[in-house]
């Protein structure tokens, strides 16, 4: 019998550029799979050519397509036990921040990491926008300084996530 896996939505801005997609696919996703979770990947969904969601500079997102993508992402968060978020950048990405706020409002755990060298928050303990950090901390998790520490925290959280699923 296979062990049950927690479902985790991965929130990040890394799908927008080739080098970000490469890091996302080669580092983040394999590390999360190693942690033993099932991944809900919005980038995989967004770039699925078979569904006609082809997004690039030559095919801008219309309002209709944008709403379809946004609803699909929220639906994936709804089906997830937790959100794993990358907060790198000059400031936490607005889409990632929205996904964090949505997940918090839905009572999801939010595990985040930021290994960006730039300080953008109010203090070392609040390394990103205060509201984003508050949602993460109040979800019962933390913002970690690197991918490995965040993945280990997620791995250690799996029994709690699965127990919460049973109570829901």
| Per-domain boundaries in the chain | 6-167
pLDDT confidence of 140, banded at 50, 70, 90?
very high
Q: What is the pLDDT of residue 106?
A: 97
| Number of continuous H segments (helices) and E segments (strands) in the chain | 7, 5
Residue 166 has pLDDT above 80, yes or no: no
- What fold, for 6-167? Rossmann fold (3.40.50)
Q: Is the pLDDT of residue 145 over 90?
A: yes
Please report the pLDDT score of residue 49 as a whole number: 42
- How do residues 27-57 score in pLDDT, each as one tens digit? 999 999 999 999 999 998 666 544 555 566 6
Q: Answer with the residue of higher pLDDT: 21 or 128.
A: 128
Residue 1 has pLDDT above 60, yes or no: no
CA 20, CA 122: separation in Å to the nearest integer? Answer: 26
Contact yes or no for 158/126 (Cβ under 8 A): no
Q: Which residues contact 32 (CB under 8 A, 6 or more apart)?
A: 8, 10, 39, 84, 151, 154
Cα–Cα distance, 85 to 83 (Å, whole number): 6
Which residues lie below 8 Å from residue 4, measured CB to CB, with a gap of 6+? 162
Write down the mean pLDDT value for the chain: 90
0.85 exceeded by the pTM? yes
Residue 146's contacts (CB-CB under 8 Å, 6 or more residues apart) are 113, 115
């Amino acid at each position: 019998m296979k062990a049950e896996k927690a479902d985790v939505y991965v929130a990040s801005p890394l799908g927008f550029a080739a080098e970000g997609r490469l890091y996302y696919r080669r580092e983040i996703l394999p590390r999360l799979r190693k942690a033993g979770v099932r991944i809900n990947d919005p980038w995989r969904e967004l770039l699925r050519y078979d569904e006609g969601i082809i997004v690039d500079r030559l095919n801008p997102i219309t309002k209709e397509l944008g709403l379809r993508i946004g609803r699909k992402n929220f639906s994936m968060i709804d089906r997830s036990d937790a959100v794993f978020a990358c907060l790198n950048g000059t400031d936490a990405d607005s889409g990632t921040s929205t996904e964090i706020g949505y997940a918090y409002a839905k009572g999801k755990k939010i595990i985040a990491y930021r290994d960006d060298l730039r300080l953008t928050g109010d203090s070392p303990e609040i390394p990103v926008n205060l509201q984003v950090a508050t949602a993460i901390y109040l979800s019962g998790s933390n913002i970690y300084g690197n991918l490995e520490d965040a993945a280990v925290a997620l791995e250690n959280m799996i029994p709690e996530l699965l127990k919460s699923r049973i109570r829901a």
